[in-house]
């Protein structure tokens, strides 16, 4: 079971980051050694929440049912709710170029060659640390590095960059962590992207509260792999 964290239950403080794993074998002879990347990078978060009276029952019920993390949450990064501007479309590029089309709908431009792309930006596929987008404006950057992108339900990724869009509107962008599930075709979602997470620790119900102050909870989460 997964529950959406309410967007109106905004934390007063947040830590939300991608925790990577490395191994550093040290030589007993020289004391030096390589640093090796390992699989299993995941999102972790810590929220400090002061719920209003309207949201306090919801939060306390959730914490009561957590059963050592058995209840999963779709948690957004509250610093990235707005997302990034939508990628420029191939259709807009074609309109600016003033292209023409043959009867089979293949486009040609002003002498630079054939244009095989069309449409608006959409996720077309991906594998491991790469995501493929189609319908993007040629010669540009499909999605800016640093964007927080949701490729499938409960799986969010940080865009690490890419070589740009080719002449047919195809872009291959690097993302982290690597894809763990097949990406869902469609418009890339960068606003209110959510990560499937679970609570950690057995003291989530602890709420140090001074008189005349709101209840305060400090909650830790880790991505469900």
Render the chain in DSSP notation, one character per residue: -EEEPPTTS--SEEEEEEEEEEE----TTTS----EEEEEEEEEEEEEE---TTTHHHHHHHHHT-TTTTSEEEEE-TTSTT--PPPPBHHHHHHHHT-EE-TTS-EE-SSS-EE---SS-EEEEEETTEEEEESBPTTS-SS-TT-EEEEETTEEEEEEE-S-B-TTS-EEEEEESPPSSPPPPBSPB-SS-EEEEEE-SS-TT-----TTS---EEEEEEE--
- Tens of pLDDT along 65-121? 766 567 788 999 999 998 887 777 777 766 666 554 444 555 555 455 555 556 788
Whole-prediction pTM: 0.76
Contacts for 68 with CB less than 8 Å, ≥ 6 apart: 202
Provide the residue ranges of all domains of the chain, joining segments of one domain with +: 2-80+195-223, 90-190
- Tens of pLDDT along 150-199? 999 999 999 988 778 888 888 899 999 999 899 999 888 889 999 999 98
Percentage of residues in the chain with pLDDT exceeding 70?
Answer: 76
Q: What is the Cα–Cα distance from 116 to 41, expressed in whole angstroms? A: 37
* Residue of 107 and 49 predicted with greater confidence: 49
Burial of 39 (0-12, 13-18, 19+ CB in 10 A): exposed
pLDDT given at position 3: 84
pLDDT given at position 115: 56
Torsion angles phi and psi, residue 132, rounded to 5: -105, 125
Q: In the predicted model, what is the mean pLDDT of the chain?
A: 80
Q: What is the Cα–Cα distance from 4 to 195, expressed in whole angstroms? A: 10
Class of the domain covering 90-190: mainly beta
């Amino acid at each position: 079971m997964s529950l959406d964290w309410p967007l109106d239950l905004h934390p007063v403080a947040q830590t939300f980051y991608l925790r990577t794993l490395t191994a550093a074998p040290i030589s007993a002879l020289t004391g030096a050694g390589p640093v090796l990347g390992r699989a299993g990078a995941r999102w972790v978060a810590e929220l400090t929440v002061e719920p209003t009276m309207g949201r306090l029952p919801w939060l306390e019920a959730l914490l009561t049912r957590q059963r050592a993390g058995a209840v999963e949450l779709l948690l957004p990064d509250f610093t990235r709710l707005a997302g990034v501007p939508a990628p420029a479309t191939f259709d807009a590029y074609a309109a600016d170029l003033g292209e023409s089309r043959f009867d089979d709908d293949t486009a040609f431009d002003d002498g630079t060659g054939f244009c095989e792309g069309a449409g608006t930006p959409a996720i077309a596929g991906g594998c491991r640390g790469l995501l493929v987008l189609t319908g993007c404006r040629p010669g540009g950057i499909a999605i800016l590095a640093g964007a927080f992108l949701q490729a499938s339900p409960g799986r969010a990724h940080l865009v690490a960059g890419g070589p740009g869009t080719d002449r047919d509107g195809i872009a291959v962008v690097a993302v982290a962590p690597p894809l763990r599930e097949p990406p869902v075709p469609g418009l890339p979602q960068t606003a209110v992207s959510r990560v499937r997470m679970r609570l950690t620790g057995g003291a989530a119900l602890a709420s140090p509260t001074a008189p005349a102050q709101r209840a305060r909870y400090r909650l830790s989460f880790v991505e469900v792999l």
